[in-house]
Amino acid sequence: MQWLLAKEWRELWSARAWWLMLVLTGPLVGLSFINAVQMYAELSGLNGTAVGVGEAFSPLVGVWAPTFSAYELVAAFLFPFVVIRLVGGDRQNGALKLEMQQQISSLARVGAKALVLLTAWLVAMLPLVIAGLLWKSYGGSSYAPELATIAFGHVLNACLTIALGAAAAAVAEHPSTAAIITLSVTVGTWVISFIAALQGGWWELVAVFTPPALVAQFQHGLIRLDVTLSTLALAAFGLVLAALWLRIGVPAQRRLVESIAALGTVALIIGACTMARASWDASENRQNSFSETDEAALRSITTPLHIEAHFAMEDSRRAELERMALVKLRRIMPRLTVTYVSQTSVGLYEQNTEHYGEINYTLGSKTDTSRIVTAEGVLETIYGLAGVTPGVERDDEIFRGHPLAVPPRHASALFFGVWPAAIAAAWFVRYRRQA
Amino acid sequence: MTTSPLLTVSGISKTFGRLAAIEDVSFRVEPGEILGLIGPNGAGKTTLFECLAGVLPPSRGQLFTAAGRPLTADDRSSLIFYVPDGIRPYPDQSLGWVLDFAVGFFGGHPDNARRVIESLQLTPLLTQRVGVLSKGQAKRALLAFGLLTPQPVLMIDEPFEGLDLKQTRDAAATLRAHANGGRTLFLSIHQIADAARVCDRLLLLSGGRLRGEGTAAELIGRSGASDLEGAFLALT
């Protein structure tokens, strides 16, 4: 196994796709970081913007989410080629025919590649360390739990990319076919998200597990156990699929049957994972939670609550209701059920329909109707139905924000100059040593 | 005195759709021999080798160990090592490292490495990347890779492909030395003269079927030809 890991590691560093990805990652992260810090600074009052606008600003939302989002591009458009190169390369040059004769299971061989690729991903995240040091040097505030959460989300996303690329490279005869499969799946997940936004229903449930939705949750500092476990199960399935199809000495029909069995198994596992309700809000500003006093009051309500909201899928009020209230409410009231009622996806021609825009609350035998979609409005209605009076929010509970009116000094030089030059120099030294 | 075969191949067939690449091929591999598989292009030599090595799933047939039981995947890994033709593995790694990998990964004997490398004149190439080696150099590198593995049966597809006359003779001498050391070699060779020079026994494959089996003299005698090339033409 040690030799296999060493070989995969050497193969990684021999791959030009990997060096290209590494050299491009710096400028991509830099572009996101510089734009985010500039915007953050301007909203915090730099160059005369209204003072106080950025007071409740969180670096997670203002700086780190956009900076990390560079890795969504890397995961979608660069990293798959590195994965395909490492997994499919053995098949192309014949090394697979040699290595498969060793008494190491196909899954172990794929596992070694996955481990090396995951390490490669962590190496590719080095520009974030530069961003972090720059941010600190500007006097920026950072909150470790939310940074760890967002990084974890992107590592999970990388796991999905590794699994997808490995499976595609194993199933396809040629790397170009594998690349087309991988990109098709990526585009497919975007299509699912798009349809979910229009149709809702089952599409919406599935869309939660697509990479963009996965990353979005972590970028808000939210760790959901169901999403995390389902992602890990999906990644494991991709690796198992790759291992099954790299056994080229096994009849294709048997590999197909085993793949279908693996698919059925992972579907059951993911079904079980979705039952997990636990979630953690790692954000400093508790953007996925109500205040502690509100949460205490809501916990005291044991009667099941049902909400029926008359909003179409694309109605902005529905999105606001979800984001501002229901996402938080589901975390604290696991017995909450929500139903959306609408005749169209846009809602534009339903505005005059009776009850459109109404939110009906049913708590036990009590009911109430409201049209307010803000967190305060929703809570007020629920408290009214339950007869609960929340405590007064303490002053220290309120997130005051970390405005920072400092421009992104030295960032351009580091990300667009030093990083690419350092990577290019490292590649050149290695190339000369090999030549 | 007859020895028990190291490996018995029984009724191996391989079809691709409606095309029968190999049909009902059976033979025995004796310990310590150099067995040659000869046949015209498209006879099914590589397909047969890949089926025996487990790289391709055979449609029918079975392999048996010396103990007479069906060969399992684990048996195959510990008994057979197969060096395919036409591959260029690890093109970005140095030859020295690749040969170290062959020893380390497959559990070969490091003591053999120097002898194998010197006998195949690979010492000056050890720092070169495999990808930049010439065809003949790459073939010798693959031979070395196979010779460094520990399995008692070494199958090599076209061991002399791309080698000049001197290199072929040197490589043949190296293979003979390994066979004399107790290793069984099974070589697929399309050059009849090379096969006659190197192999103890020959299998003649044509049209996916085994057309003859025996020493060169036996094949010549059976065909009524004056030499092995004549026997080859008569039997295929």
Mean pLDDT of A396-411: 83
Nearest to A93 among B53, B83, B87 (CB): B87
Q: Tell me: pLDDT of A302 over 90.
A: no
Shared-domain flag, residues A386 and A411: no
Shared-domain flag, residues A195 and A318: no
Residue A184 near residue A206, CB atoms below 8 Å: no
Shared-domain flag, residues A319 and A421: no
Shared-domain flag, residues A74 and A177: yes
Shared-domain flag, residues A154 and A25: yes
Distance of alpha carbon A242 from its chain centroid, rounded? Answer: 23
The identity of residue A116, as a single letter, is V
Distance of alpha carbon A405 from its chain centroid, rounded? Answer: 29
Mean pLDDT of A391-410: 81
Mutate to test the interface with A, among B87, B142, B148, B156 (most CBs of A within 10 A): B87
Shared-domain flag, residues A198 and A310: no
The pLDDT of residue A50 is 57
The pLDDT of residue A244 is 96
The pLDDT of residue B167 is 87
A407 inside domain:
yes
The identity of residue B19, as a single letter, is L
Mean pLDDT of A24-31: 96
Shared-domain flag, residues A42 and A191: yes
A286 inside domain:
no
Tell the CATH superfamily of the B7-86+152-235 domain: P-loop containing nucleotide triphosphate hydrolases (3.40.50.300)
Mind telling me how many Å the CA of A434 is from chain B's nearest CA?
A: 7
Task: Say how far apart CA A435 and CA A432 lie, in whole Å.
Answer: 5
Q: Which of the four pLDDT bands, split at 50, 70 and 90, describes residue A348? A: low
Gyration radius from chain A CA atoms: 25
A389 inside domain:
yes
Q: Tell me: pLDDT of A47 over 80.
A: no
The pLDDT of residue A79 is 96
What ipTM, to 2 d.p.? 0.90
Q: Tell me: pLDDT of B52 over 60.
A: yes
What is the pLDDT of chain A when averaged over all its residues? 89
Of A114-128, A156-170, A338-352, B107-121, the one with minimum mean pLDDT is A338-352
Enumerate the residues of chain B whose CB falls inside 8 A of the CB of residue A15.
Answer: 92
Mean pLDDT of A252-264: 95
Task: Say how far apart CA B205 and CA B207 lie, in whole Å.
Answer: 7
Shared-domain flag, residues A390 and A415: no
A287 inside domain:
no
Assign residue A302 the CATH number of its domain. 3.40.30.10
The Cβ of residue B202 has, within 10 Å, a number of other Cβ atoms equal to 27
Mind telling me how many Å the CA of A104 is from chain B's nearest CA?
A: 9
Shared-domain flag, residues A126 and A172: yes
Angle at the Cα of A228 (from A311 to A399), degrees rounded to 5?
Answer: 65
Residue in chain B lying closest to A9 (CA): B93
Domain regions of chain B by residue span: 7-86+152-235
Of A139-143, A346-350, B42-46, B226-230, the one with minimum mean pLDDT is A346-350
Q: Tell me: pLDDT of A353 over 60.
A: yes
Task: Please identify among residues 32-51 of chain A the ones whose CB lies closer than 8 Å to any CB of chain B.
Answer: none
Q: Tell me: pLDDT of B229 over 90.
A: no
Q: Tell me: pLDDT of A146 over 70.
A: yes
Quick: pLDDT tens for B141-192: 999 999 999 999 999 999 998 888 888 988 999 999 999 988 999 999 988 8
What is the pLDDT of chain B when averaged over all its residues? 89
Residue in chain B lying closest to A252 (CA): B57
The pLDDT of residue B194 is 84
Q: How many domains does chain A have?
A: 2
Enumerate the residues of chain A whose CB falls inside 8 A of the CB of residue B53.
Answer: 97, 101, 249
The pLDDT of residue B1 is 45
Mean pLDDT of B128-135: 92
Shared-domain flag, residues A298 and A332: yes
Quick: pLDDT tens for B205-222: 988 898 888 888 888 888
Task: Say how far apart CA A13 and CA A1 lie, in whole Å.
Answer: 19
Shared-domain flag, residues A207 and A343: no
Mutate to test the interface with B, among A5, A82, A97 (most CBs of B within 10 A): A97
Check CB contact of A434 with chain B, cutoff 8 Å. Answer: yes
Contact assignment for A103 to B97 by CB distance below 8 Å: no
Quick: pLDDT tens for A77-96: 999 999 999 999 999 999 99
What is the SS3 assignment for A57? Answer: coil
Residue in chain B lying closest to A7 (CA): B101
Instruction: Output the pTM of the full model.
Output: 0.88
The pLDDT of residue A345 is 66
Shared-domain flag, residues A277 and A300: no
Beta strand A366-370 with B7-16 is unpaired
Q: Tell me: pLDDT of B20 over 50.
A: yes
Q: Which domain holds residue A46?
A: 2-281+402-434
